[in-house]
Structure 1
Amino acid sequence: MRYKEFGKTGMKVSEMALGTWGIGGAGWDDNPEEIRIDAICTAVENGVNFIDTAPAYNAGAAECLVGKALKQSGTRQRVIVATKCGNFYMGNGTYVRDGHYDKIIQQCDDSLKNLQTDYIDLMLIHWPDVNTDFAETADALNALKKSGKVLHIGVSNFTREQMEEIGQYCTLEAYQPQYSMVVRTNEEQMKWAAEQGMGVMTYGSLGGGILTGAFRKLTTFEATDSRNRFYKHFQEPMFSKVMKVLEVMDRISADRDNVPLSQIALNWCAQKEFVSSCIVGAQSRRKIEENCAAYQWMLTSEEIALLDAAIEQYLVEQ
């Protein structure tokens, strides 16, 4: 595993963070609890010291599994736990944003119980609630940090303008955007956030799984499946364009004794100087170990150039 400084927080995080949206069991493949807990423990065994979760991941189910896994393995003190606030899962793929002071405070207290811990390393506002004054939301984060319940604060899915606005009321230490070879729309504000001293952690780092090469034909998922609802590149016209990029990845893989495409995609992301850590969601020991192995090698500048050229040619609108 490789590690990087997480902005100005003083934390050193693994370049792979374990994402737990799927582990929560809503909107993704569902696995028995023992398989999901084993996945969490496997990540820690393989050097991952950064876990990303949220109460919105199946109404606290993901947080509960993280808490249970860390307690059973006795590894809480070795792991940096990031969770979120201001977003509530209502079922059937429906979420409600609420950044009011009392909601943020209560959600944090609920997360502490779910995670079986007395502090949260990093608290992120999950999505901006534009109907609540950012000053009120920031006041809640500042209060949580002052109390010691939260050590560091940041945002996810904010625009630069929104970060600048809420930054008037609290010091942002982290930014979590969607970013991968198939989604680059946030790249400039990621660079800006890194320049401000924020740690930058990417989600959707494997494009919801499409960059693993596991999906070579159009697949129809359930209506509430996140690959059908959230990740638009599983649909045409994007799907066919991504397949062209996979062909280039296939060639690089073949030249490297058939390394998994997921490892190519993760290195493409992790080797960006403005990226601190790449969030990767996986629910099995085999996939966790395969993803962690990506950090045992690095892409050459020539390979990165080939990938960037393919992205520019086929995914330029991204």
Structure 2
Amino acid sequence: MEYTEFGKTQLRVSRMCLGTWGIGGAGWDSYSDESRMDAIKAAVDCGINFIDTAPAYNGGRAEQYIGEVVHKLGVRKEVVLATKCGNEFINGKYVRCGAADKIMRECEESLRNLKTDYIDVYLVHWPDPNVPMEETMDALNTLKKQGKILHIGVSNFTKEQMEEAEKYCAIEAYQPQYSMVDRKWEQLIRWACAQKMGVMTYGTLGGGILTGKYRELKEYGVDDNRNRFYPYFKEPLFSKVMLLLRTMDQISEERNVPLSQIALNWTLQRPFISSCIIGAQSRDKIEENCKVFEWKLSDDEMQLLEQALKKTII
């Protein structure tokens, strides 16, 4: 495992962060409770000290899994916990609300779920255009003064929204989507890094499309996140990603490594990213992903991938 300073927070985090949207169990493949909790334990065993979650991940279920495992292992002081506010999962739907009273309530619920009395990094999950930014940020300032959260961040914000938020409080962390097949926020990520924000990117494997597991176009359920959130599982992007996978297959065969490690390796070599978020619901996938730190893509391989991206995705 590799570690780095997380922006200006003075937190030292693993460069791989465990993502728990899938572990929450809504909109992804079905795994047992035991498998999901063992995946969290496997992450800790592999040296991951950074865990990302949210109350919106199946109504707090992901937070509860994390709280149970971290408490049972007795590693709370060694683990950096990031969770979110302003987005709830209600009756199978994601509902945004940045109102102060909702944020205060969400924080208390997250603290109970996580079995902790403080949250290391607290992020606004999505901006709420119906609530003044000042109200949302003032609520976070209050929670920080109370010692319930240590560092404030945002996810899925534009530059203009971050600059507006910073009128009311210091933003120390930024969480955007970023991967080989989604680089639309790269300039903003570079800007955030230059502002000394800790940058933690999600969607590193493109919802799983970059693992090579999905080679045939198929239909997914209405609530499945591969149908609802990630666009790569439909045309025209599906065929474009399949062309990219051919180049990744070539490197995979020469290196004898899985495609997931190639996608992870590519992201980890971006100097403006502190930690990349990887979701997995089983121990074997966690352990496989962590082996990415045993090797690096060469300059020639990086160039080969860039050429393939220009022909297909970019």
Per the normalisation by structure 2, the TM-score is 0.99
CA distance in 2, matches of 1:177, 1:194: 12
Structure 1, residues 52-78: CA drift from partner, whole Å, max 9, x if none? Answer: 000000000000000001111111111
CA distance in 1, matches of 2:8, 2:198: 7
Unmatched segments (≥5 aa) in structure 2 = none
4+ residue runs over 2 A deviation: none
CA distance in 2, matches of 1:135, 1:31: 40
Letter in 1 for 2:175: Q
Aligned length: 314
Letter in 1 for 2:23: I
Q: Map 1:229-240 onto structure 2 (within 5 A).
A: 229-240=228-239
* Correspondence for 1:53: 53
Unmatched segments (≥5 aa) in structure 1 = none
Letter in 1 for 2:207: G
Note if contact 1:121-1:151 (Cα within 8 Å) is conserved in structure 2: yes
Sequence identity of aligned pairs in percent? 60
* Correspondence for 1:301: 299
CA distance in 2, matches of 1:260, 1:75: 31
What SS does the corresponding residue of 2:284 show, helix, strand or coil?
A: helix
Per the normalisation by structure 1, the TM-score is 0.98
Note if contact 1:58-1:91 (Cα within 8 Å) is conserved in structure 2: no
Structure 1, residues 144-202: CA drift from partner, whole Å, max 9, x if none? Answer: 11111001010000001100111111100000001001111110000000000100001
CA distance in 2, matches of 1:312, 1:186: 17
For the pair 1:117 / 2:116, whether they are aligned, the reply is yes
Q: Map 1:162-177 onto structure 2 (within 5 A).
A: 162-177=161-176
Note if contact 1:123-1:153 (Cα within 8 Å) is conserved in structure 2: yes
CA distance in 1, matches of 2:8, 2:296: 25
* Correspondence for 2:26: 26
CA distance in 2, matches of 1:219, 1:184: 25
What SS does the corresponding residue of 1:81 show, helix, strand or coil?
A: strand
* Correspondence for 1:149: 148
For the pair 1:72 / 2:48, whether they are aligned, the reply is no
Q: Map 1:180-195 onto structure 2 (within 5 A).
A: 180-195=179-194
Letter in 1 for 2:151: H
CA distance in 2, matches of 1:245, 1:228: 20
* Correspondence for 1:62: 62
CA distance in 2, matches of 1:108, 1:263: 35
Letter in 2 for 1:91: N
* Correspondence for 2:224: 225
* Correspondence for 1:37: 37
Structure 1, residues 72-107: CA drift from partner, whole Å, max 9, x if none? Answer: 111111110000000011133x21111111111110
